[in-house]
Structure 1
Amino acid sequence: MSHTWKHDRAAEQIDKRIKDIETVEIVDYVREKDLESIPTAKAYRVDGVHLYADILNLEDMLHCTDFEGETCHKRTLRFLNQHFRAVDRILARTDAKRVDFHNQRLHALISKPYNTQSGAEATRVNQAVAIAQLIIDVLKETGDSDENIPAAKVRVGIDSGRALAVNNGRNGYREPLFLGEPANRAAKIANGSTSGIFLTNLARMAIGLEELEEPAKTALTKAEIEACQKAAALEVTAQSIVDEWEEDMEKNPIGTFQFTSHTPPFRTMDIPALTPANSRRQEALSIYADIDGFTNYVNRHIDDRPEDVVKALHVIRAELERVLTNDFDGRRIRFIGDCVHGLLCEGTAQTTDVEETIRTGALCAGGLRSSFDLALKKLGENGVDTEGLGLAIGFEFGSTAVSRLGLKGDRVRCAVSRSVLASESEQTRCTGVQTAIGQVAYDKGPAAIRDLFGKTRKANSLDFDAAVDGLAAKEQKAESKSGGGLLRSAAPAAASGFSFPTQAAGPSKKPASFA
């Protein structure tokens, strides 16, 4: 299939997804339930405390060498793997639920005791603070000087409130996703450069602390943390976790990360089969598409028509993934809340066609926005309120490593690189109608890319037709709009015509804007 977006094809698929969720069931979460296998058309209202732990020195790891080569990526993946296994052990021993572990960010939920019990919220916040301090203390000890792996510097954000738990995944890769303010506020207050434990004012008031004008600037004091630890009375210590972790690492060593490159298209990459010894690495384009305004949207509907939230999320994300994988041969790495992260690549296993990859990235971004707009229209026609929703898109190019962390049977997928961090950063500087391109992709792409995005490296309302027209205006190619298909340049034809055997990944070119 040529890399093009077509209205009729998108409309047909969106209609199918809407039909999947004609009837949605909303249930209060008041007893133990399996949140890892929530049906698509069901959601739970969950009162709980959300904890986000952000490893602050991931970017330092990605810059541990001047050149972003294999050594840098091997150290970074080992760094994340060691700390992930330690944190996962903490959550298992403290009855907290791991919601997501996305590169440097952990999202966990403390849902017990349920709100049917007196003082439940205060108990949960105390537990969350005690768990947070346990994470900080343990990760101080889980570095490895022999492997040049430092201890992790951690900042934790905590909030309390009610959210909707829905299915977060497709095709056998399922985990819970929590929609609403508490998860969002915890993530925001965890986003900073100073280590420590930070509580929102709602979480602070739940345990009797005073409100602050800027809670993100004031970490809990040692005395406040000790009070929470005493109230929580966790039955595990940092030393016991470290001892167990060391024993586990000895019995189940991580092994050496070994890379091969994948023959494009990336949609054929078998991520569930990846292990440290069977990881992928090559130059590729990283793209983030985030549903803008979704937290406020959830807040408006969590009591009034929560079914609309489930329907909108399911339809929009399913269509975004379809565009990325089916229309543009990319690979979805994971859903991160209301955001989708993916990779795509043009060329061969030996050589990435840089300009064509960046050109396809721009077209894919346009296709994502065209499908998003069409999904909103069709949801509205089916009685689903979508007011206030937008799509913020960011993408960047560079050498990227893809693997899975953890132990067999419980591994999490991971894509790390400077360009992955940069593409997420590009997305965050966009409004719901904007698309941003990273500096490396801007510099390495064809001249038409620079004309399309301008000096700000941002474009407004860049749908598929606008992307096609913008590229065609400079390149003078025989391209057509969405109804008739887009003719691609011949450079990457070998990737789809025949395949090369998987081979060891060689060094990639140094991105122009990185030291």
Structure 2
Amino acid sequence: MAHTWKHDRALEHIKKKIKDVETVNIATYTRDVSLERIPSNKAYRLDGVHIYADILNLSDMLSVTQEEGETCHKRTLRFLNLHYRAVHRILKECDTIRVDFHNQRLHAVVAKPYNTAQDAEKKRIQHAVAISQLIVDVLAETGDDDEHIPNAKVRIGIDSGEALAVNNGRNGGREPLFLGDPANHAAKIAGAGKAQGIFLTNNARKALGLKEAEEPKTTPLTPEEIQSCQEQANLAVSKETIVKEWRKDLKDNPIGVFEFSRHTPPLRTMDIAALSPANSRRQEAISIYADIDGFTAYVSRHLKDSAEDVVRVFHVIRSELDRVLMTEFEGRRIRFIGDCVHGLICEGTAKTTDEEETVSNATLCSGGLRSSFELSLETLSVEGIDTDGLGLAIGFELGPMTVTRLGMQGDRIRCSVSRGVLGSEKEQTRCNGVETAIGQTAYDAATEAVQSLFGSTRKAADLDYNEVVEALSEKGDDAAKESKAAAFATAAPAIAKSANLVINPHTRAE
């Protein structure tokens, strides 16, 4: 099926979203505030400690077999589910805000004690360190030898400071999201290596009363420093209690067997809210990541004096990227991850995936995402909203993909994990704000036109929709030619079959 990106449709949607956030209310977080279902035009300033925990051996789980088959995926999903349940119990018992649990990466926030208390920031950091060590200790005991599920190896990053809490997600997938330095810096230090331990930024170390480190990302807290935080935090729950309750819950509410079936394309119609371990999806598809480059620095510049513009830019751009993925190219958004959108794209039938067409349409989609991003910046700027320094980094990869929901009954988290998912994220991270990268597996399955577009580096700059559709159709890519013909069919049927005309999606039909 032909998929197209249209300037007028994009502009109409962008203007509507700008109007939705015309008036933005920035409030201060207090003890009586709920961070669930924050309106799109509202945000809360929250001074807290951000914890990022990375499970280091997830990729090992995905690589235990040479072929990425069902057994590999079932073991990996059970691995995540076991550890999700344990961490869920820790955060609940320790009165900590769970922000996100995306595959191998947890983000949580310690907001108490509030700043009205003496030495509040120091106490929050001590609390965060104690919780982090509890996570490390518990996940060292929550494997399953009978199912060949190892214990989790964990690396944790911590930072402290003020961030903006906004709404993340749509409908049933709403949860809080934090914009600002502490969330980003905690994530970076957590993801900065493979050594296990608890790592604090120098900002957090200073607030805790520790000496600054020359290399914070390679300087874990010592056992003595961790023990001191544990004694001061005096958590109301122990490792033994958590593990005991976790085992009882598994006995009373067993995870069950993971069962996979295919979703008939397009993936847009997939009802993720109806999924469970026994009703999971698995098929060959494209995983695509689109990340707003430079957004953390943008937030830092505007957080104090124009936080309203941060909320406007964030919601307008993400909403438009979501529309392009799901409406224009009929993919499925899996989730928003901070200022990043993760989705899947698949072309084919109920039984098979047309890999070549899937890669071509993902390439066209990446062009549509970039065109909509650039149009969003242009339209926001016309409204007097600063967008300097922002870019879009896009990466995608092909492979067997899974989609399911994990965790506790009544509080399940959507999950899509595979080598291709990790690969697409890796491709995105090697891009700057004007680049798009394609993974090796997708490149190998692509048409010669797609391979020529990306070249031997599998990366190219400034690939908007017009650039992509023209380059691919000129070299005989069928999906691109269909998209080009479909664009003409709606605007000028008499010339729809002309293969020599150049489409400019930024030009309106008269």
TM > 0.5 fold call: yes
Amino acid at match of 2:6: K
| Residue of structure 1 equivalent to 2:393 | 392
Q: Do the aligned partners of 1:448 and 1:475 also contact (CA within 8 Å) in 2?
A: yes
Amino acid at match of 2:273: P
Deviations 1:64-91 (A, max 9, x none): 1110000000000000000000000000
| Residue of structure 2 equivalent to 1:49 | 49
Give the 3-state SS of the residue equivalent to 1:61 in structure 2: helix
| Residue of structure 1 equivalent to 2:488 | 484
Question: With structure 1 as the length reference, what TM-score do the two structures score?
Answer: 0.93
The alpha carbon displacement at 1:384 in A equals: 1.1
Taking a change above 3 Å as real, the CA distance of residues 295 and 343 of structure 1, as seen in their structure-2 partners, is same
Percent identity reads 65
For 2:292 and 2:373, the matched residues in 1 are separated by 9
| Residue of structure 2 equivalent to 1:240 | 241
Q: Do the aligned partners of 2:26 and 2:42 also contact (CA within 8 Å) in 1?
A: yes
The alpha carbon displacement at 1:284 in A equals: 0.3
The answer to whether 1:213 aligns with 2:217 is no
For 1:223 and 1:150, the matched residues in 2 are separated by 28
Question: With structure 2 as the length reference, what TM-score do the two structures score?
Answer: 0.94
For 2:475 and 2:2, the matched residues in 1 are separated by 21
| Residue of structure 1 equivalent to 2:30 | 30
Q: Do the aligned partners of 2:286 and 2:359 also contact (CA within 8 Å) in 1?
A: yes
| Residue of structure 2 equivalent to 1:111 | 111
Taking a change above 3 Å as real, the CA distance of residues 476 and 239 of structure 1, as seen in their structure-2 partners, is closer
| Residue of structure 1 equivalent to 2:135 | 135
Deviations 1:321-360 (A, max 9, x none): 0000000000000000000000010001211000000000
The answer to whether 1:343 aligns with 2:344 is yes
Q: Do the aligned partners of 2:428 and 2:436 also contact (CA within 8 Å) in 1?
A: yes
The alpha carbon displacement at 1:482 in A equals: 9.4
Q: Do the aligned partners of 2:4 and 2:487 also contact (CA within 8 Å) in 1?
A: no
Q: Do the aligned partners of 1:2 and 1:485 also contact (CA within 8 Å) in 2?
A: no
Q: Do the aligned partners of 1:30 and 1:115 also contact (CA within 8 Å) in 2?
A: no
For 2:167 and 2:363, the matched residues in 1 are separated by 29
Deviations 1:408-436 (A, max 9, x none): 21000000110000000000000000000
| Residue of structure 1 equivalent to 2:68 | 68
| Residue of structure 1 equivalent to 2:150 | 150
| Residue of structure 2 equivalent to 1:201 | 202
Amino acid at match of 1:236: V
Taking a change above 3 Å as real, the CA distance of residues 415 and 485 of structure 1, as seen in their structure-2 partners, is farther
For 2:487 and 2:145, the matched residues in 1 are separated by 58
1:289-438 matches, within 5 Å, as 289-438=290-439
The alpha carbon displacement at 1:33 in A equals: 1.3
Give the 3-state SS of the residue equivalent to 1:35 in structure 2: coil
The alpha carbon displacement at 1:240 in A equals: 0.6
Q: Do the aligned partners of 2:172 and 2:273 also contact (CA within 8 Å) in 1?
A: no
For 1:160 and 1:485, the matched residues in 2 are separated by 55
| Residue of structure 1 equivalent to 2:85 | 85
Q: How many residues align?
A: 488
The alpha carbon displacement at 1:485 in A equals: 6.7
Q: CA RMSD in A?
A: 1.4
| Residue of structure 2 equivalent to 1:178 | 178
For 1:12 and 1:239, the matched residues in 2 are separated by 56
Give the 3-state SS of the residue equivalent to 2:281 in structure 1: strand
5+ long unaligned stretches in structure 1: 489-515
Amino acid at match of 1:484: F
Deviations 1:215-267 (A, max 9, x none): 00011110010001011010111011000000000000000000000000000
5+ long unaligned stretches in structure 2: 491-495, 498-510
| Residue of structure 1 equivalent to 2:264 | 263
Taking a change above 3 Å as real, the CA distance of residues 242 and 476 of structure 1, as seen in their structure-2 partners, is closer
Amino acid at match of 2:403: V
For 1:408 and 1:221, the matched residues in 2 are separated by 37
For 2:241 and 2:31, the matched residues in 1 are separated by 30
For 2:488 and 2:397, the matched residues in 1 are separated by 28
